[in-house]
Amino acid sequence: MFGQVLVLFFFPTERLPTVRSDRDKFTVYLDVKHFSPDELSVKVTDDYVEIRGKHDERQDDHGYISRQFQRRYRLPSNVNQSAVTCSLSADGVLTITGPKASAQGESVYNEHSIPVTRDNKTNSTADEAS
C-alpha cells in the first residue's frame, strides 16, 4: 500500500506522460491503459522515439469508442538508440528507456522498431524494485 501511495505521488495519472533525463538514462512514462501491446507500436527514427496506439471500436460503460494517438519525443544525443527498450506494466503504464553513453559520441541515425513487452507488475511494483 505504501508503495502505491508513493507512485501516485511521483506518477499521478493526470501528470502522465512524464519525461525524465537522468545522468545515466532517458525515460518516458505514458498512460496507455486503453491499449494492449499488439495495439501499440514504438520505433526509433533518426533521433526520435515514436509511439503510436490504435484500437478499433469497442464497447465501454458509455457506448462504443475507438481511440488512436501518436507521440514523438526527441532523444538526447548521448542516448544509445539501438538499446532503447519499452515495457507495458499491468496497470497500463508504458515505460520507454534508453541508456546514455558515458561519453558523448556520434549518434547513429537509423530506424528500427522496438517490441512492446508485457510486464505483469504494476508500475508501482516496478519502481520499488529499482
What's the pLDDT score for residue 130? Answer: 45
How far is it, in rounded angstroms, from Cα 31 to Cα 109? 28
Q: Is residue 62 part of an annotated ligand binding site? A: yes
What's the pLDDT score for residue 14? Answer: 52
What's the pLDDT score for residue 110? Answer: 64
Q: Look up the pTM and report it.
A: 0.71
Helix (H) or strand (E) holding 45: strand 40-45
CB-based contacts of 115, cutoff 8 Å, min separation 6: 86
Helix (H) or strand (E) holding 43: strand 40-45
Q: Is residue 106 part of an annotated ligand binding site? A: no
- Summarised one tens digit per residue, pLDDT across range 18-53 is 999 999 999 999 999 999 999 999 999 989 999 999
What's the pLDDT score for residue 118? Answer: 83
20-122: which CATH architecture? Sandwich (2.60)
3-state secondary structure 46-114: CCEEEEEEEEEEEEECCEEEEEEEEEEEECCCCECHHHCEEEECCCCEEEEEEEECCCCCCCCCCCEEE
- Summarised one tens digit per residue, pLDDT across range 67-105 is 999 999 999 999 999 999 999 999 999 999 999 987 555
Domain ranges of the chain: 20-122
Q: Is residue 112 part of an annotated ligand binding site? A: no
How far is it, in rounded angstroms, from Cα 73 to Cα 33? 20
